[in-house]
Amino acid sequence: METAPAPVVVAIDGPSGTGKSSTSKAVAAQLGMNYLDTGAQYRAITWWMLSNGIDVNDAAAVADASGKPDLVSGTDPAAPTITVDGADAAGPIRTPEVTAAVSAVSAVPQVRTRITELQRAIAAGAPTGIVVEGRDIGTTVLPDADLKIFLTASPEARAARRGGELAGRGGEKPVDLDATRQALLRRDRADSSRKTSPLAKADDAVEVDTTELTLEQVIECVVTLIEDRQRTA
């Protein structure tokens, strides 16, 4: 009788547009693992701040309100969910307004502490293992993860992918790839320079450059890395 693979905790980090979400969801589904999009949690708390009239550029106000919203993340990779105070927030958290504000909210230490606690609790409660994707998972949230992967890609490739995502959402205006590229680079600078849990590659992370790879190739690469780790767990 074949034994079930050992449950492992996998941290997948990297900047926007490297394929983290698509890869993580597909890998988790293929391997029967749970999945957590930590970026959605930061977007959700940012959406709550904007919806409740909190000045997102006032760090003290954001810190004071950081414990108020009730955030719940579903970890089924086939249908991941995020609710705020019981309301489905999957759509509202992807608006341009939230995108423009999320770096400022995410930089507030009290917000990061709150969300990090949620993330660790979810990872600890995943009996079949979990793929957690974000920007500080391997360095801060889950430094003892069984496997750490850092996805990278050229700014041009990332802009093209993000442009494809935006076009796929039914926008009427053509996507300006140069503006998208500049926005990604600004997000990189904000995430990498914040004092609390900056975007960074963990020393023991496996780096995968996705620039020249198809999504299927990235998924295959990550699945192989996880299966190798499961065999030694």
The pLDDT value recorded for residue 171 is 55
Kindly report, residue by residue over 126-178, the tens digit of the pLDDT.
989 999 999 999 999 999 999 999 999 999 999 988 777 766 666 556 678 88
Whether residue 61 is predicted with pLDDT greater than 70 in this model: the reply is: yes
Quote the CATH superfamily of domain 9-228.
P-loop containing nucleotide triphosphate hydrolases (3.40.50.300)
Coil, strand, or helix at residue 54? coil
Which pair of tokens denotes residue 16? 């926007």
Q: Which residue has the higher pLDDT, 191 or 49?
A: 49
DSSP state of 129: -
How far apart, in Å, are the Cα atoms of 25 and each of 20, 49, 52, 80, 188?
8, 27, 31, 9, 23
The pLDDT value recorded for residue 188 is 85
The pLDDT value recorded for residue 173 is 63
Kindly report, residue by residue over 5-44, the tens digit of the pLDDT.
788 999 999 998 899 999 999 999 999 999 999 999 999 9
Residue whose token pair is 């074949």: 2
Q: CA 215 to CA 140: how far, in whole Å?
A: 27
Q: How buried is residue 96: exposed, middle or buried, by Cβ count under 10 Å (0-12/13-18/19+)? A: exposed
Q: Which residue has the higher pLDDT, 73 or 167?
A: 73
The strand pairing partners of 177, in sequence order, are none
The pLDDT value recorded for residue 1 is 52
**What's the distance, CA 72 to chain centroid?**
15
Kindly report, residue by residue over 214-223, the tens digit of the pLDDT.
999 999 999 9
Q: Is the pTM of this model over 0.75?
A: yes
Whether residue 124 is predicted with pLDDT greater than 70 in this model: the reply is: yes
Give yes or no for a contact between 225 and 149, defined as CB atoms under 8 angstroms apart. yes
How far apart, in Å, are the Cα atoms of 182 and each of 129, 178, 186, 209?
36, 6, 6, 20
Q: Which residue has the higher pLDDT, 82 or 200?
A: 82
Kindly report, residue by residue over 113-123, the tens digit of the pLDDT.
999 999 999 99
Residue 110 has phi, psi (to 5 degrees) of: -65, -35
Whether residue 72 is predicted with pLDDT greater than 90 in this model: the reply is: yes
Kindly report, residue by residue over 179-194, the tens digit of the pLDDT.
888 988 888 888 888 8
Q: What is the dihedral of CA 9, 14, 19, 24, to 10 degrees?
A: 10
Coil, strand, or helix at residue 107? coil
The pLDDT value recorded for residue 197 is 84
Domain positions in the chain are 9-228
The pLDDT value recorded for residue 69 is 98
Closest CA to 89 of 125, 29, 39, 131: 39
**Stretch among 93-102, 171-180, 202-211 having the lowest mean pLDDT:** 171-180
